[in-house]
Every structure is written in C-alpha cells, then in structure tokens.
C-alpha cells in the first residue's frame, strides 16, 4: 500500500493521504489497481480485499503513533460492492476495536458504479460508517456514474467531494472545463463539504483551482503515491516546519 499526500491550498499544509494499493507480480510485473480491483469484484474477493486494506491502514496509523509519528487522516478506497454488504459496518467496527485506530484519522472513499443492487443497505452503511466517526468522501465526482441524487441523499454524511482528474486536466486551456470546475466547487459550498481536486499536475492548475475556491489538492504536481518510509519522512518534515 502506497500513500499519496493531499494538501490544503490555503497554507500548503499536508492534510491527508490516500491509500493506493500496488501489486508487483513476480511474472507479470506491475499490475494496475484498476485491473486487479475489477477482477477482485468479478470473483467476489472485493469485500475481503477492501477490509484487508482498511486493516493495514489502521495498523499503519497505530504503528506510526507508537513511534511518535502523527499522520494526518488517511483515505481508503472502498468499492461500491463492498458498501452493499450487510455485515460491512460490523466488520469495520471490529477492525477498529482490535487495532485501536482513532476513527477521526480515517476516511472512506466511495465510488459509484453502474451496478448498485442494494442501494438501501449502501445508504444505511455510509450513514453508519459516518456515525463511527469516519470521514466520507465521494471519489471521481463528475464522471462515470457519480450522481447528483446520491450526493443529495447522502449529503448529511458527506465530508469531501473529490473532483475527478479528467475534469481537472484541461481547466487551464478550456474555459468550459474551468466553468465546470467552478460549478462543482460551488456545489461543494451548497453541500457544505470540502472539495478536493484530483490529478493536479501543474502549478498553473494548482493556482487556478485555488482561485476558484477549491479546498484541497492531490496529484503529481505535489507527489505521487509514496512508500511507507517516504510518507513517514514527509509527516516528520511537515511537523518540523
Ligand atoms: P482513485 O481512487 O481515483 O485514485 C487516484 C488515481 O489517480 C491513482 O491511480 C493515482 O495514482 C492516480 N493519480 C494521482 N495523481 C495523479 C496525477 O496527477 N495524474 C494522473 N494521471 N494520475 C494521478 P492508481 O493508484 O492506479 O489507482 C487507480 C484506481 O484503482 C483508484 O482510483 C481506485 O479507484 C482504485 N484503487 C486503488 N487502490 C485501491 C484499493 O486499495 N481498494 C479499492 N477498492 N480500489 C483501489
Ligand atoms: Mg480514490
Ligand atoms: Mg479518484
């Protein structure tokens, strides 16, 4: 698991990390999570996989704290199919209790997919996760199936809207894309949630997003997903600044 830093525009402060899974296969080399997560979903392994990642992150936060390394909040991607499972919240609760990880240091990223079969359980689960003290983010907002009605239904449980990187890519050259970004940031204000721009790759994009009122940023302009050691160094460096 690697950790990609998230920064606050206003003061360039490190505000969080996103946990991103990496798989180096001995014969096939690097396999993108876009590929293996889909396979995990197809063969029904997504539930155990997502819980495994969640467990690893809880342990990492606790281990760091034992070494006096105080990480900011860490976001974990949870597949929609996992969020539909009835025992999801009970399992999360037990992982939290066993690890002793403070829930205010955890965030769950929810991505909508086409095949939501159990919408009622999903909504109940998101609300129950929020009640545990965990932050909720909507991932890849503005693409695929991320719907306004879901965001509206879940609004009282939401903390962060993550603007998909495809909407960020051309904001400097396309007036249309710039207006789209402005409206999504405005939607964040209406919902009273923080807005994070994904895939920020240039200083020009960074500056424009700040001007548009975006709260947080993540992307190659700042950092790629870091190893545990590199993330640890960054946390210590920020603390000493
Ligand atoms: P995501 O959650 O939207 O994660 C952001 C992706 O964008 C990551 O790709 C990240 O490395 C990449 N990225 C970050 N900054 C930039 C940038 O400036 N430019 C560009 N072009 N890309 C950038 P990655 O790690 O390949 O992950 C792809 C997707 O796989 C993730 O999209 C997420 O949906 C899924 N995923 C990754 N790890 C996990 C996991 O542990 N569990 C689950 N369920 N899904 C995961
Ligand atoms: Mg994500
Ligand atoms: Mg995303």
pTM (two decimals) = 0.96
Mutation pick for ligand 1 pocket among 53, 77, 138 (CB with most ligand atoms within 8 Å): 77
Q: How confident is the model at residue 241 (pLDDT cuts 50, 70, 90)?
A: confident
Percent of the chain with pLDDT over 70: 97
CB of 45 shorter than 6 A to ligand 1: no
User: Atom 25 (ligand 1): residue with closest C-alpha?
Assistant: 20
Domain that holds residue 14: 2-240
CA of 37 to the centre of ligand 1 (A): 11
Does the pLDDT of residue 174 top 90, yes or no? yes
38-42, 158-162, 204-208: which has the minimum mean pLDDT? Answer: 38-42
Residue range 24-36: mean pLDDT, rounded: 94
CA of 163 to the centre of ligand 3 (A): 7
Q: How confident is the model at residue 113 (pLDDT cuts 50, 70, 90)?
A: low
- Which ligand is the nearest neighbour of the Cα of 196? 3
Does the pLDDT of residue 176 top 90, yes or no? yes
Residue range 12-38: mean pLDDT, rounded: 95
Residue range 25-36: mean pLDDT, rounded: 95
All residues at 6 or more sequence positions from 87 whose CB lies less than 8 Å from its CB, including other chains:
none
User: Atom 12 (ligand 1): residue with closest C-alpha?
Assistant: 199
User: Atom 11 (ligand 1): residue with closest C-alpha?
Assistant: 225
CA of 100 to the centre of ligand 3 (A): 28
Does the pLDDT of residue 60 top 80, yes or no? yes
Q: How confident is the model at residue 115 (pLDDT cuts 50, 70, 90)?
A: low
Residue range 64-84: mean pLDDT, rounded: 95
The domain that holds 234 is classified in CATH as 3.20.20.450
Does the pLDDT of residue 114 top 70, yes or no? no
Number of domains in the chain: 1
CB of 225 shorter than 6 A to ligand 1: yes
Q: What is the pLDDT of residues 190-208, one digit of tens each?
A: 999 999 999 999 999 999 9
């Amino acid at each position: 698991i690697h950790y990609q830093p998230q920064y606050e525009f206003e003061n360039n402060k490190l505000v969080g990390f996103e946990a991103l899974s990496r798989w180096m296969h001995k014969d096939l080399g690097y396999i993108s999570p876009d590929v293996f997560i889909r396979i995990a979903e197809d063969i029904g392994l997504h539930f155990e996989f997502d819980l495994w990642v969640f467990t690893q992150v809880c342990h990492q936060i606790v281990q760091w704290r034992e070494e006096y390394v105080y990480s900011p909040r860490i976001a974990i991607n949870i597949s929609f199919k996992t969020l539909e499972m009835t025992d999801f919240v009970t399992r999360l609760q037990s992982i939290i209790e066993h690890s002793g990880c403070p829930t205010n240091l955890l965030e769950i990223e929810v991505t909508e997919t086409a095949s939501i079969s159990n919408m009622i359980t999903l909504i109940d689960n998101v609300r129950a996760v929020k009640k545990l003290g965990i932050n909720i983010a909507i991932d890849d907002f503005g693409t695929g199936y991320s719907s306004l009605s879901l965001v509206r239904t879940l609004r009282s449980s939401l903390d962060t809207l993550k603007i998909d990187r495809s909407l960020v890519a051309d904001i400097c050259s396309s007036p249309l894309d710039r207006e789209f970004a402005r409206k999504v940031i405005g939607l964040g204000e209406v919902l009273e949630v923080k807005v994070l721009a994904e895939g920020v790759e240039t200083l020009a994009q960074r500056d424009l997003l700040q001007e548009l009122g975006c709260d947080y940023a993540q992307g190659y302009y700042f950092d790629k997903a870091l190893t545990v050691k590199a993330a640890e160094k960054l946390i210590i460096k920020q603390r000493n600044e």
